[in-house]
Amino acid sequence: MTDRVSTLARNLLFAAAAVVSLLLDQWTKILARTHLRPLGPWGSKTIVANYFDLRYSENTGVAFGMGQGLPAGRILLTLVALAALGLVGYYLKRSGPRQFRLHLALGLVAGGAVGNLVDRIVFGRVSDFIVWHVGRHEWPAFNIADAALVVGVALMALDMMLEKRGQAAPSPAPPDPASNKES
Protein backbone atom coordinates (compact mmCIF):
# COMPACT_ATOMS: atom_id res chain seq x y z
CA MET A 1 0.00 0.00 0.00
CA THR A 2 1.14 3.50 -0.65
CA ASP A 3 1.43 5.91 2.24
CA ARG A 4 -1.57 7.87 0.99
CA VAL A 5 -3.78 4.75 0.91
CA SER A 6 -2.45 3.65 4.32
CA THR A 7 -3.19 7.07 5.79
CA LEU A 8 -6.70 6.94 4.34
CA ALA A 9 -7.21 3.44 5.81
CA ARG A 10 -5.93 4.70 9.18
CA ASN A 11 -8.33 7.63 9.17
CA LEU A 12 -11.28 5.53 8.02
CA LEU A 13 -10.71 2.89 10.72
CA PHE A 14 -10.34 5.58 13.37
CA ALA A 15 -13.47 7.44 12.19
CA ALA A 16 -15.55 4.26 11.89
CA ALA A 17 -14.66 3.15 15.43
CA ALA A 18 -15.33 6.63 16.83
CA VAL A 19 -18.64 7.12 15.01
CA VAL A 20 -19.99 3.61 15.68
CA SER A 21 -19.14 3.76 19.39
CA LEU A 22 -20.58 7.28 19.69
CA LEU A 23 -23.82 6.43 17.88
CA LEU A 24 -24.29 3.15 19.76
CA ASP A 25 -23.64 4.95 23.04
CA GLN A 26 -26.10 7.77 22.38
CA TRP A 27 -28.79 5.43 21.01
CA THR A 28 -28.59 3.10 24.03
CA LYS A 29 -28.64 6.07 26.43
CA ILE A 30 -31.82 7.38 24.76
CA LEU A 31 -33.36 3.92 25.21
CA ALA A 32 -32.23 3.83 28.85
CA ARG A 33 -33.65 7.28 29.61
CA THR A 34 -36.91 6.35 27.87
CA HIS A 35 -37.45 2.83 29.20
CA LEU A 36 -35.39 2.45 32.37
CA ARG A 37 -35.55 5.85 34.06
CA PRO A 38 -39.33 5.58 34.64
CA LEU A 39 -38.69 2.40 36.68
CA GLY A 40 -37.10 4.55 39.39
CA PRO A 41 -33.83 4.11 41.27
CA TRP A 42 -34.59 0.55 42.38
CA GLY A 43 -36.25 -0.70 39.22
CA SER A 44 -34.24 -2.81 36.85
CA LYS A 45 -34.70 -5.28 34.05
CA THR A 46 -32.94 -8.58 34.56
CA ILE A 47 -31.26 -9.80 31.40
CA VAL A 48 -29.32 -12.78 32.82
CA ALA A 49 -30.35 -13.66 36.38
CA ASN A 50 -27.56 -13.12 38.94
CA TYR A 51 -25.19 -11.69 36.30
CA PHE A 52 -26.52 -8.89 34.12
CA ASP A 53 -29.19 -6.22 34.66
CA LEU A 54 -30.21 -2.96 33.04
CA ARG A 55 -30.77 -0.26 35.67
CA TYR A 56 -30.78 3.47 35.01
CA SER A 57 -28.55 5.75 37.06
CA GLU A 58 -27.02 9.17 36.61
CA ASN A 59 -23.36 9.83 37.21
CA THR A 60 -21.86 13.27 37.84
CA GLY A 61 -18.38 11.78 38.28
CA VAL A 62 -16.12 9.85 35.96
CA ALA A 63 -16.46 6.34 34.56
CA PHE A 64 -18.11 3.67 36.69
CA GLY A 65 -19.54 6.19 39.16
CA MET A 66 -16.19 7.28 40.58
CA GLY A 67 -15.67 10.88 41.68
CA GLN A 68 -19.31 11.74 42.37
CA GLY A 69 -19.77 15.24 43.78
CA LEU A 70 -16.40 16.67 42.76
CA PRO A 71 -16.36 20.44 43.24
CA ALA A 72 -16.64 22.05 39.81
CA GLY A 73 -16.80 18.48 38.48
CA ARG A 74 -18.73 19.25 35.33
CA ILE A 75 -16.23 21.85 34.14
CA LEU A 76 -13.20 19.86 35.25
CA LEU A 77 -14.40 16.63 33.62
CA THR A 78 -15.29 18.49 30.42
CA LEU A 79 -11.75 19.91 30.28
CA VAL A 80 -10.27 16.46 30.96
CA ALA A 81 -12.36 14.97 28.11
CA LEU A 82 -11.24 17.72 25.74
CA ALA A 83 -7.60 17.17 26.73
CA ALA A 84 -8.02 13.43 26.14
CA LEU A 85 -9.42 14.14 22.68
CA GLY A 86 -6.41 16.35 21.97
CA LEU A 87 -4.09 13.50 22.98
CA VAL A 88 -6.04 11.08 20.78
CA GLY A 89 -5.54 13.42 17.81
CA TYR A 90 -1.85 13.78 18.62
CA TYR A 91 -1.31 10.01 18.80
CA LEU A 92 -3.35 9.42 15.65
CA LYS A 93 -1.22 11.91 13.73
CA ARG A 94 2.02 10.37 15.03
CA SER A 95 0.96 6.76 14.48
CA GLY A 96 2.30 4.71 11.64
CA PRO A 97 0.00 4.10 8.70
CA ARG A 98 -0.23 0.37 9.44
CA GLN A 99 -0.82 0.43 13.20
CA PHE A 100 -4.40 -0.71 12.75
CA ARG A 101 -4.92 -1.91 16.34
CA LEU A 102 -3.82 1.50 17.62
CA HIS A 103 -6.11 3.31 15.16
CA LEU A 104 -9.06 1.19 16.29
CA ALA A 105 -8.16 1.84 19.94
CA LEU A 106 -7.89 5.60 19.42
CA GLY A 107 -11.26 5.61 17.65
CA LEU A 108 -12.91 3.78 20.56
CA VAL A 109 -11.36 6.19 23.06
CA ALA A 110 -12.49 9.19 21.00
CA GLY A 111 -16.03 7.84 20.57
CA GLY A 112 -16.32 7.00 24.26
CA ALA A 113 -14.97 10.37 25.37
CA VAL A 114 -17.33 12.26 23.06
CA GLY A 115 -20.29 10.09 24.11
CA ASN A 116 -19.86 10.96 27.78
CA LEU A 117 -18.95 14.55 26.93
CA VAL A 118 -22.26 15.00 25.09
CA ASP A 119 -24.15 13.78 28.17
CA ARG A 120 -22.13 15.99 30.49
CA ILE A 121 -22.72 19.10 28.36
CA VAL A 122 -26.41 18.46 27.54
CA PHE A 123 -27.62 16.92 30.84
CA GLY A 124 -24.93 17.84 33.37
CA ARG A 125 -24.45 14.14 34.15
CA VAL A 126 -23.81 10.87 32.35
CA SER A 127 -26.48 8.21 31.97
CA ASP A 128 -25.38 4.73 33.07
CA PHE A 129 -27.48 1.59 32.79
CA ILE A 130 -25.39 -1.58 32.42
CA VAL A 131 -24.89 -3.51 35.66
CA TRP A 132 -22.81 -6.68 35.95
CA HIS A 133 -22.87 -8.71 39.13
CA VAL A 134 -22.09 -12.14 40.49
CA GLY A 135 -24.37 -13.10 43.32
CA ARG A 136 -24.34 -10.14 45.68
CA HIS A 137 -21.14 -8.57 44.32
CA GLU A 138 -22.08 -5.78 41.94
CA TRP A 139 -19.80 -3.64 39.79
CA PRO A 140 -20.67 0.04 39.31
CA ALA A 141 -23.12 0.86 36.53
CA PHE A 142 -21.62 1.93 33.23
CA ASN A 143 -22.57 2.66 29.63
CA ILE A 144 -21.35 1.94 26.10
CA ALA A 145 -19.03 4.97 26.13
CA ASP A 146 -17.32 3.67 29.29
CA ALA A 147 -16.96 0.24 27.67
CA ALA A 148 -15.49 1.80 24.50
CA LEU A 149 -13.00 3.75 26.62
CA VAL A 150 -11.92 0.67 28.57
CA VAL A 151 -11.58 -1.51 25.45
CA GLY A 152 -9.72 1.28 23.64
CA VAL A 153 -7.26 1.80 26.49
CA ALA A 154 -6.76 -1.98 26.80
CA LEU A 155 -6.02 -2.21 23.06
CA MET A 156 -3.56 0.67 23.38
CA ALA A 157 -1.79 -1.11 26.25
CA LEU A 158 -1.70 -4.34 24.22
CA ASP A 159 -0.31 -2.45 21.25
CA MET A 160 2.43 -0.91 23.42
CA MET A 161 3.37 -4.27 24.94
CA LEU A 162 3.53 -5.99 21.56
CA GLU A 163 5.53 -3.12 20.09
CA LYS A 164 7.96 -3.22 23.02
CA ARG A 165 8.28 -7.00 22.66
CA GLY A 166 8.98 -6.62 18.93
CA GLN A 167 11.70 -4.07 19.62
CA ALA A 168 13.28 -6.19 22.36
CA ALA A 169 13.43 -9.40 20.32
CA PRO A 170 16.98 -9.91 19.12
CA SER A 171 17.34 -10.34 15.41
CA PRO A 172 18.92 -13.61 14.36
CA ALA A 173 22.60 -13.37 13.53
CA PRO A 174 23.53 -14.00 9.91
CA PRO A 175 25.14 -17.39 9.29
CA ASP A 176 28.90 -17.49 9.69
CA PRO A 177 30.44 -18.41 6.30
CA ALA A 178 33.49 -19.91 8.10
CA SER A 179 31.29 -22.55 9.78
CA ASN A 180 30.18 -23.93 6.41
CA LYS A 181 33.67 -25.08 5.38
CA GLU A 182 33.94 -28.75 4.58
CA SER A 183 36.45 -30.69 6.65
Predicted TM-score (pTM) of the model is: 0.81
Catalytic residue among 3, 128, 159, 176: 128
- pLDDT for 30-43, tens place per residue? 999 999 988 876 67
Q: Which residues pair with 131 in a beta bridge?
A: 53
Q: Residue 22: CB partners within 8 Å, gap ≥ 6?
A: 111, 114, 115, 118, 145
Catalytic residue among 25, 53, 119, 146: 146
- In angstroms, the CA 56 to CA 35 distance is 9
- pLDDT for 77-91, tens place per residue? 788 889 999 999 999
Could you confirm whether 128 is annotated as catalytic? Answer: yes
Could you confirm whether 25 is annotated as catalytic? Answer: no
